[in-house]
Amino acid sequence: MSDLLGECGLQGRTDAAGYSRFAPRPELGGRILKRNEIQADTAGTYFVRTTGASLSIQYDLGDKLTLNSSTGYDHLKYHLSPFDCDGSPNNICAIRYLSIGDNFNQDLHVNYEGNGLKLIGGLYYGRDKIRTRNEEDFFGFLRPLLLGAGLPANFNNAAIAVPGGDALKTLPAFALNPSLTPSSPGFCAPVVVNPNGFFDARSLLAFQADIAATNSAAGTAAQAACAAAGAPPFGPILATQRFTIDRPSAAIYGEAAWEVTDKLTLTLGLRYTRDTVKYKNASTVLFDLGGKNPAASLVPYSFPFNPNFKPVSQKERTGRLTGRFVVDYKFARDILGYASFSRGFRAGTYNGLAYQDIRQVYFVKPEKVDAYEVGLKTRLFDRRVQLNLAGFYYDYGNQQIAQIVGATSFLRNANGRLYGGEAELVVQAADNLRFDAALGLLNSKYTGNKIDLTDPRSLTLNINGNPFPNAPETTFSAGFDWAPLEIGNGKLQLRGETQYQGRYFFDPFKDYGQKPCDRPVAGSNVLQATPELACGNPGYWLFNGRITYATDRYSLSVWGKNLTNKFYYSYGLNLNAFFEDYLVRGAPRTYGVEATVRF
């Protein structure tokens, strides 16, 4: 973090637009910023507060029966204000997030154990409720400029990030007829799409053409042609979005484990879950140039603004049967083999972050996964060596994935599969020396997904054949624990470890059709994603270490992580609507001291 803050200070070295870095630099391969540099107009404030309580009760009913009750409640408050989403020193994109959530869970089950049989049966009820209030502020830098130019505070021609829906009133002729040029008669003539709309898209599209052309003569000519055609200036969009997601859930479940013989155990479990998902009290209100008076509502649509509009509410119910079947077989005292099938699911939800149009709000189906696994767990050589092996195949249906389109986040469903294997090895080489290692191999792929551009729930990019996000083909780790010395009443303990992550992508869209991944798609001169996103994060090694002196009562440790200061990204998000991607750097070299006292 210190490196980041140290290299991004502007210190007055800015151009007229506020940029300290704008022109591509040859020494960086045409990039604008170094990898530790950022440009922002605000760092924002991040706040999270959680409180909770839990209660567990166990009561012996006798005759090998036990009653168990678990009750929990959590309260969450989340605030991020603002999130600078434009990657520039100007106020182009800022979003303020506020969420308040409550979660209640109650589980009641009975256990039976005896005569080679273990039974469990129970009931579950849970409810989580999240109330959200977001403020989207796009092109905010225009507000003082337009007010200073004499436009009234009640002016409204908001630059909706993705023009469309009921808000769109007019389009320029060049948006409908690509053969027109800025010198063509009627190039920017208004074409009325919706007489009841408030947004004249001619100004915004000319502005976007100007940016896409990097302030070229063609872009400037488009702006001039629209101005000559009487296009009004477009203003910033300042909107307040509110909605509540309420999800009560109830389930009944049971499981039986039967020791058929001393070697063979069969386990069967079933669970039926009934979910209700409520999207309630949803609205998006758009404010005028002054930012104080409502000018229109987008969800639901009203223009002029109707203060008596009815907030949007939707509800969906789903029921799912899940479970598992496991076969355990003891080949020997220290060798256990198993095979299992299980079906799990993730509850459905609503695409609540859509704020521009009611048609963007829809139910996202529950995610389902069928998991098949076989494995072997062993302890060898007088239990000084532990070796575990596993192979698995997962079949996903309606996996819930996110896609950013323009400046709007959509939650969508996709199908895919993955398979792989894992190996874990632990060797107790001596009483004071232990080695461990793990290897993972993975192959993931999205399959059978279709694109329907008329359906807002559908993906807009082909992902078939792409790997899952954050799913490297190879992972590896190895380490040792060594206690070389006894000093007084304590021991000196050393821990060293290394971790390897193979190449992975941050989202399901892989290279965004860019082949090679650092070049625009054929027929375009604009990247759909930066190379850092489209080429994926290269494989990397991390090295960590810890030195500890420990007694029965206290311990003192000195530790370090990422000792070689390897640079890598842990998260990436495509924001190409702002000609950038959002990337989070993995933790650099960190170190510290840790003390523990036991009472």
pLDDT tens-digit series, residues 329-343: 999 999 999 999 999
User: Is position 437 within any domain?
Assistant: yes
Question: What is the structure's pLDDT at 86?
Answer: 80
Q: What does the alpha-carbon distance between residue 230 and residue 189 come to, in Å, rounded to a whole number? A: 9
Q: Report the alpha-carbon distance of residue 29 to residue 400 in Å, rounded.
A: 36
Boundary (domain end) residue, out of 234, 261, 281 = 234
**pLDDT, average across residues 442-469:** 91
CATH of the domain at 420: 2.40.170.20
- Predicted TM-score (pTM) of the model is 0.86
For residue 357, tell me if it sits in a domain.
no
Last residue of a domain, one of 181, 205, 234: 234
* Residue 31, in any domain of the structure: yes
**What does pLDDT average to over the chain?**
90
13: pLDDT strictly greater than 50: no
pLDDT at 361 over 60: yes
User: In this structure, are 17 and 164 located in the same domain?
Assistant: no
Are 398 and 527 within one domain? yes
582 and 437 in a common domain: yes
Give dist(CA 261, CA 40) in Å, integer: 67
User: Hey, what's the torsion of the CAs at 506, 510, 513, 515, to 10 degrees?
Assistant: 100
- Whether residue 148 is contained in a domain is answered as no
Looking at residue 10, what is its pLDDT?
A: 34
Assign 439 a pLDDT band (cuts: 50, 70, 90): very high
Residue 217, pLDDT score: 65
* The total number of structural domains that make up the chain: 3
Q: Is residue 222 part of a domain?
A: yes
Would 333 be classed as within a structural domain?
no
Verify that 169 and 35 share a domain, yes or no. no
Confidence of residue 5 (pLDDT cuts 50, 70, 90): very low
Distances (CA, A) of 64 to 116, 232, 258, 290, 353: 12, 80, 15, 71, 50
CA angle centred on 15, ends 13 and 17, rounded to 5°? 130
Does pLDDT of 7 surpass 60? no
Is residue 253 assigned to a domain? no
Dist CA 61 CA 141 (whole Å): 69
Residues 28 and 164 reside in one and the same domain: no
Average pLDDT on 375-401 reads: 97
Output 9 or 84, whichever has higher pLDDT: 84
Range of the domain at 481: 374-599
Task: Give the model confidence (pLDDT) of 302-311 as tens digits.
Answer: 999 999 999 9
End residue of a domain, out of 206, 234, 262: 234
Residue 540 covered by a domain:
yes
Q: Is residue 510 a contact partner of residue 536, using CB atoms and an 8 Å limit?
A: yes
- pLDDT in the model for residue 19: 57
**Averaged pLDDT, 349-371:** 90
Residue pLDDT, tens place only, 546-583: 999 999 999 999 999 999 999 999 999 888 777 778 88
Q: Which residues contact 383 (CB under 8 A, 6 or more apart)?
A: 334
Q: What is the pLDDT of residue 1?
A: 26
